[in-house]
Amino acid sequence: MSLSNSARLEKMITEESRKFYFVAFRILGDQDMAMDAFQNSCVNALRSVDKFRGDSSLSTWFYTILINSCRKQLSVWNRLGRIFSHTDLEQFSSSEEDDGEDAEKLKLVMDEVGRLSSRQKEAMILRYSEGLSIRDISIVMGCSEGTVKSHINRGVTAVRTRLFPDSEESVDMAARACDAKLH
């Protein structure tokens, strides 16, 4: 016997709670904000599960609700005029015991991801952490597939420039940015 959408949703948010929670955490960079976003998403999803028509998978549908909750959290945060601190992310970075080159690069990457626009961050988290397809990301983020690709490409390029500041592309980009400032 197949489960109802409501039962499937309950099972999914309980069994995969960590996965969803960490998506919120990676976007928001704060455990309390992430937990609020996750909790609100659970409430909203359970309340509106009757409206789920199966156009996408249940998890894609839940990601949409989760991303909207994160956006709301960020807008409240910004309205309050507080500086987005990434306290928990910094704590994580400094707790890394391995001081090798890779760990150093990882810190650089995380720092750069923290500087990206929230849309670029959303697209990259859904792609590289959750493995969602470009199509599903476009559904979750409510934009075209082209926009998703552009967000990801710009995000990766920004991180690459930070990791390889002396590479030809980075120098090229810096020159173009300089030109744009002069004109």
Nearer to another protein, 56 or 170 (CB): 170
Position 99 contacts another protein (CB under 8 A): no
Q: How far is the CB of 22 from another protein (least distance, A)?
A: 6
Token output for 100 = 């090798």
Nearer to another protein, 64 or 123 (CB): 123
The secondary element (H helix, E strand) that includes residue 85 is none
Q: Are 120 and 154 in contact (CB under 8 A)?
A: yes
Q: How far is the CB of 120 from another protein (least distance, A)?
A: 12
Position 46 contacts another protein (CB under 8 A): yes
Instruction: Please give the DSSP secondary-structure letter assigned to residue 55.
Output: S
Q: Contact region for another protein (CB under 8 A) — 51-59, 64-72, 155-163, 173-181? A: 155-163
> What is the spatial distance between Cα 89 and Cα 104, in angstroms, rounded to a whole number?
14
Position 176 contacts another protein (CB under 8 A): no
> What is the spatial distance between Cα 123 and Cα 152, in angstroms, rounded to a whole number?
6
Q: Are 113 and 124 in contact (CB under 8 A)?
A: yes
Query: DSSP string of 61-81?
Result: HHHHHHHHHHHHHHHHHHHTT
Residues at the contact surface with another protein, assessed by CB under 8 A: 10, 13-15, 17-18, 20-22, 25-26, 31-32, 35, 38-39, 42-43, 46-47, 88, 91-92, 105-106, 109-110, 113, 124-125, 127-129, 131, 133-134, 149, 152-153, 156, 159-160, 163-164, 167-169
